[in-house]
Structure 1
Amino acid sequence: MDVPIKKKRFNTSRIAIIIGITLFLLLLIFVFISSTGNSKLKVNSERITISEIKKGTFQENIPVNGVVLPITTIYLDALEGGRVEEKFVEDGAIMKKGDPILRLSNTDLELSLINQETSVYNLLTQMQMTQNAARQNTINRLNQKTDVENAYIEAERVYKLNKKLFEKGVIARMEFEESENNYTYQKQRIELANQVVTEDAIAVKQELGQAKNSYARTQSALELMRKKVGDLIVRAPVDGQLTSLNAEFGESKNKGDRLGQIDVLSGFKVRVDIDEYYISRIYTGQYGMYTLAGKEYKLLIKKVYTQVANGRFQVDMEFEKEVPDGIRRGQSLQMRIALSDEKQSILVPKGGFFQQTGGNWIFKVSEDGTSAYKVDVQLGSQNTEYYEVLQGVAPGDKVITSSYDNYKEIQELILE
């Protein structure tokens, strides 16, 4: 008779399954505890930056870049078009006011000058002929007046003599009346002659005045034409350095074309690019600081260009007093522009921690320096060196300010 074999309750495969399920549950419990509990991470103290919270003078400022430019730049444009015939200097030359830079040629303009000079000469000749004719006419009028005056004097003498003789009865009435009529006629002639001479003098004066005005206008037009021809020689308008000269032999230039510029070397300004975010906080009179070789130089904003291009706008700044030695046109400067007045604040040095925390929390080092833990903070304004702390830490506290790239989920750092 066969004996039934009792089946085992736990075999090897079942035991393995139970162990696997148990380990999986333990792993889930560990992960849950790790994610909800106070996770820690050991770090090397030499690989992090520990900074001390302190109270000090704070001023909000922004770092900006600027380019050194001459304080005044005068552009050279072609006042008249023409062909480049001669260059007297090269780009970069130091110029004095009135020094020639280049010469253009314009045959049409030069021909117009010759025609204008001919017109002036013809007008001058005509005016001289008019003056001679007027002078001759005046002489004739005066000669006629002299004849009339002589006739009047003789008629007056005869009239007075005949009047006496008539009163004495020596001559007849007819002879007396004849002399009287002649006297009256000559008297009218002399009055007419005087009037003619007076009116002739006025007419001659007016005619000569008109001729002179016409000649003066033509002469002014000639001077203007000469100036236009003279403008074919481009000269330095002020003392300075010639830059950006754009002209080559034989090249044709149109009226108004840019030929170059003169940089006045009496001073420098700095043209600064600023993010448009700050456009409402930038104004003339605001100052910035530039540091060179440990020495600070103060600059003032003189002009704000409100046009925004590619998210940025520009300002012109000038050194308030001293200008750094050796500064050159085109040189790039890094400076800070102050956005607020100085005040006393709690400060934390700037560092890589801000990129991960957004200024909402920070690792605070324990008093014994063996660990660091998360604390909530609130940061305010910033400058190139510090953040302003509004709450969360106090002066004397030590915090980690280096990058938190690997610490986002960590609650506590163990410092070794």
Structure 2
Amino acid sequence: MDVIIKKKTWTPTRLLLLGAAVLVLVLAGVGLFSTAGAAKLNVDPERLTISEVTRGPFQEFVPVDGVVMPIKTIYLDAPEGGTVQRILVEDGATLQPGQPIIQLANTDLQLEMVNRETAVFDLMNNLHNTRNLLQQNRIQQLNQLADIDHQLQEAKRVHDLNKTLYEQKVISRQDFLQSQNNYQYQQRRRQLTRQALRQDSVTMRLQISQMEQSVGRMQANLALMRRKLDDLTIKAPAAGRITSLNAEIGELKTRGQRIGQLDMLSGLKVRATVDQYYISRIFPGQKVEAAVNGKPYQLQVTKIYPQVTQGLQVDMEFVGATPADIRRGQSLPVRLALSDQTQAVRVPKGGFNQKTGGNWVFKVNENGTKAYRTDIRLGRQNPDFYEVLEGLKPGDRVITSSYEGYENMGELVLEAKHE
């Protein structure tokens, strides 16, 4: 009896062929992957910027342009309106306290001054006349009182004499009573006269006091009026340099109109506008550095303005000596420190970061023939350097120019092109 023999599916020959095919596919895949991962590009090194990684002082700062200003400025406004009659100083002149600047003319104020002076003189004349009349009246009353005292003494003498004679029955009772009544009348008359004199004296003092107070008030008004006339001569309130003087002969100035400003000579400051991105990192006392004619100067933040419009406005003053060759209104670039200065590994800033995001860089080999893609990690930055945290060490050389067109490369072959 015959037995059916099944044909084997996986014969040794088939297994060898399958293994060979798989090996070919694996090798092809590895070769393809290796070629894609290590894509190369020939680049002329003259088109690149190659920088060296260094270790040195590093500080975060923001560069801003400031404007040189005086530490203190006094604005000069016209306290009274008038026509410019004389200009007594030149714009930019250095003034002393109280030195006249501009002379204004105001006929209305002058006429009002004359009227008030006349009113004061009239009131003072009335006071003088009233005092004389009251004094004359008092003299008359004193004369009247003296006459009454004389009559009282005479009536007393007659009364005392008649009393003695009446007791001795020399005169009649009628004569005694008549002298007694006259004596009592003169006593009452003297009492009423003295009372009237006291009351008139009080009234006179009150009237004179009221008139003197009126004169005093009018004299105070007159003094105020004189000061208003004096304000027509605009003077320097302190020592300083007059700037922005805005006046012409014959020009009408209204009260409160700006005619210039007085810059104090006590020193200069720098005012700058910082991007509001740094608003939380700006504080009074913060260090600032400026270079004037190649010489460094130190400043510090003294005032931060609360209003934030197109940026944060700050004032900075010089610490120590102030540069002698800077002027008001001059533009001065300054560096506002955002951190203390420390030692760090640093790489110069360049366009490479736009494509890499600070995650990798092309590192040049020792002989400068190739540059390999190397992973790195960057930290802080300033306008000059990036701080390197990982991936590079001092002495390494990297390409810091733009990586436009190189971002998918794994290796750059640095070969100069020869014409």
TM-score range, shorter chain: 0.7 to 0.9
Bigger mean CA offset, 205-214 vs 405-414: 405-414
Q: Cα deviation per residue 1:359-403 (whole Å; 9 max; x = unaligned)?
A: 233222335543222233333322243222333334444322233
* Inter-partner Cα distance in structure 2 for 1:157 and 1:52: 135
Q: Tell me how far 1:344 sits from its aligned partner.
A: 4.2
Aligned to 1:161: 161
| 1:375 aligned partner, one-letter code | T
Q: Tell me how far 1:288 sits from its aligned partner.
A: 0.7
Written as runs of structure 1 = structure 2, the 5 A alignment for 1:203-242 is 203-242=203-242
Q: Tell me how far 1:343 sits from its aligned partner.
A: 3.8
Q: Secondary structure at the match of 1:381?
A: strand
Provide closer, same or farther for how the CA distance between residues 314 and 172 of structure 1 changes in structure 2, counting only shifts above 3 A. same
Aligned to 2:92: 92
Aligned to 2:9: none
Aligned to 1:15: none
Provide closer, same or farther for how the CA distance between residues 95 and 388 of structure 1 changes in structure 2, counting only shifts above 3 A. same
| 1:366 aligned partner, one-letter code | N
Aligned to 1:317: 316
Q: Tell me how far 1:234 sits from its aligned partner.
A: 1.9
Bigger mean CA offset, 36-45 vs 282-291: 36-45
Provide closer, same or farther for how the CA distance between residues 146 and 380 of structure 1 changes in structure 2, counting only shifts above 3 A. farther
Q: Cα deviation per residue 1:143-165 (whole Å; 9 max; x = unaligned)?
A: 22222222222233333333444
Written as runs of structure 1 = structure 2, the 5 A alignment for 1:395-406 is 395-406=394-405
Written as runs of structure 1 = structure 2, the 5 A alignment for 1:122-201 is 122-201=122-201
1:340 equivalenced with 2:350 (yes/no): no
TM-score, scaled relative to structure 1: 0.84
Q: Tell me how far 1:335 sits from its aligned partner.
A: 1.0
| 2:402 aligned partner, one-letter code | S
| 1:408 aligned partner, one-letter code | E
* Inter-partner Cα distance in structure 1 for 2:271 and 2:179: 102
Q: Secondary structure at the match of 2:407?
A: coil
* Inter-partner Cα distance in structure 2 for 1:35 and 1:82: 90
Aligned to 2:252: 252
Provide closer, same or farther for how the CA distance between residues 143 and 330 of structure 1 changes in structure 2, counting only shifts above 3 A. same
Q: Tell me how far 1:47 sits from its aligned partner.
A: 4.7
Q: Secondary structure at the match of 1:321?
A: coil
Provide closer, same or farther for how the CA distance between residues 382 and 202 of structure 1 changes in structure 2, counting only shifts above 3 A. farther
Q: Tell me how far 1:83 sits from its aligned partner.
A: 1.9
Aligned to 1:23: none
* Inter-partner Cα distance in structure 1 for 2:139 and 2:271: 76
Q: Tell me how far 1:315 sits from its aligned partner.
A: 1.0
* Inter-partner Cα distance in structure 2 for 1:49 and 1:99: 63
* Inter-partner Cα distance in structure 2 for 1:386 and 1:195: 104
Provide closer, same or farther for how the CA distance between residues 52 and 174 of structure 1 changes in structure 2, counting only shifts above 3 A. farther
| 1:331 aligned partner, one-letter code | Q
Provide closer, same or farther for how the CA distance between residues 136 and 33 of structure 1 changes in structure 2, counting only shifts above 3 A. same
Provide closer, same or farther for how the CA distance between residues 103 and 35 of structure 1 changes in structure 2, counting only shifts above 3 A. farther
Q: Tell me how far 1:328 sits from its aligned partner.
A: 0.7
Aligned to 1:7: none
Q: Tell me how far 1:45 sits from its aligned partner.
A: 4.1
TM-score, scaled relative to structure 2: 0.83
Aligned to 2:359: 360
Alignment length (residue pairs): 385
Q: Tell me how far 1:250 sits from its aligned partner.
A: 2.1
Aligned to 1:376: 375
* Inter-partner Cα distance in structure 2 for 1:294 and 1:247: 40
* Inter-partner Cα distance in structure 2 for 1:351 and 1:332: 27
Q: Secondary structure at the match of 1:140?
A: helix
Q: Secondary structure at the match of 1:323?
A: coil
Task: Give the unaligned 5+ runs of structure 2.
Answer: 1-28
Aligned to 2:8: none
Bigger mean CA offset, 325-334 vs 48-57: 48-57
Aligned to 1:16: none
